[in-house]
Amino acid sequence: MRRIEDKERELQELLSKLQHDVGPVYWYDTVLSTMDVGFEHSDAADRTVIVADRQTRGRGRYGRLWYSEEGSLYCSIVLTRFDIRLPYSMIAAYGVYRALMRHSDRVKLKWINDVMWENGRKISGVIAEERRQRTVIGIGVNLNNLKFHKKIEMTATSYRRETGECIGVAEFLRDMADEFFSLLAAVDKDGIERVMAEWETDASVRGRAVRIVDSSRELLGTSTGIDKRTGALLLHTEEGDVKVYEGSLFYR
Binding residues for ligand BTN, per CB under 6 A? 33-35, 55, 58-61, 64, 66, 74-76, 114, 125-127, 138-140
Our CB check for ligand BTN shows the closer of 68 and 223 to be 68
**Shortest reach from residue 140's CB to ligand BTN, in Å:** 3
The least CB distance from residue 30 to ligand BTN, in Å, is 12
Omega before 112 cis (within 30°)?
yes
Q: Name the residue number minimizing CB distance to ligand BTN.
A: 125
The Cβ of residue 241 has, within 10 Å, a number of other Cβ atoms equal to 10
Nearest to 115 by CA among 52, 179, 182: 179
Burial 12-24, CB ≥16 within 10 A → b, else e: eebbeeeeeebbe
Residue 113 Cβ vs ligand BTN, minimum distance, rounded to whole Å: 7
CB of 28 to ligand BTN, least distance (A): 11
In which element (H, E) is residue 159 found? helix 159-163
Amino acid at 30: T
- Given the complex with ligand BTN, which of 61 and 174 has the nearer CB atom? 61
Nearer to ligand BTN by C-beta: 127 or 177? Answer: 127
Nearer Cβ to ligand BTN (34/157): 34
The alpha carbon torsion through 10, 78, 159, 109 (nearest 10 deg) reads -140
Q: What 3-state class would DSSP assign to 243?
A: strand
Q: How far apart are CA 50 and CA 186, in angstroms?
A: 24
Of 42 and 237, which CB lies nearer to ligand BTN in the complex structure? 42
DSSP summary character for residue 3? B
Which residue, 149 or 236, is less far from ligand BTN as judged by CB? Answer: 149
> Shortest distance, CB of residue 241 to ligand BTN, whole angstroms?
27
| Residue 238 beta carbon to ligand BTN: minimum distance, rounded to whole angstroms | 29
Tell which phi-psi region holds residue 61, choosing left (phi > 0), alpha (psi between -120 and 50) or beta: beta
Alpha-carbon distance of 115 to 107, in angstroms, equals 7
Tell the smallest beta-carbon distance from residue 100 to ligand BTN (Å).
15
**What kind and span of H or E run contains 201?**
helix 192-203
Give the nearer residue to ligand BTN in terms of CB position, either 136 or 232.
136
